[in-house]
Amino acid sequence: MKEKEGSQLIFILAGTLTILGAFAQLFDLKFAPYIFSLGAGFLIFLYGKNVFDKAKIDKRQQRMARIGLFTSLMLGIAAYFMIIGSNSWVPFVLIYALSSFFQSFRGEK
């Protein structure tokens, strides 16, 4: 398996875990924060890896990679709020979702 295919597979798995964890949290399931945290951790890892992979690319792509890493850290904060039982996790997931939506139009063609 090539590295890019592996990263895409991990990204799909991480996104699925994050979405499942968020929906499970809406239904107050006990295991929801852990599923969400696992997916968020994978996403943070992938965005961090992306920042280091783009180190020798043009400034625009470096900036987009750093924005992706910063917003993925919002998922880590959301996971923390889920684990402590606060409902403050929702705005952080919203910030991540809106930023990802923005980046989908600004990313590579």
Nearest partner of 22 among 34, 12, 36, 11, judged by Cα: 36
Distance CA 51, CA 72 (A): 12
Residue range 53-109, pLDDT digits in tens: 877 788 888 888 899 999 999 999 999 999 999 999 999 999 999 999 998 888 665
What pLDDT shows up at residue 104? 86
SS3 content of the chain, % helix, strand, coil (to 5): 85, 0, 15
Nearest partner of 14 among 47, 63, 53, judged by Cα: 47
Residue range 33-69, pLDDT digits in tens: 999 999 999 999 999 998 888 777 888 888 888 999 9
Tell me the pLDDT band of 1, cut-offs 50, 70 and 90: low
Nearest partner of 69 among 34, 89, 96, judged by Cα: 96
The amino acid sitting at 75 is L
DSSP, collapsed to helix, strand or coil, labels residue 8 as helix
Kindly state the tokens that stand for 39: 């997916």
Contact 64, 107 (CB under 8 A): yes
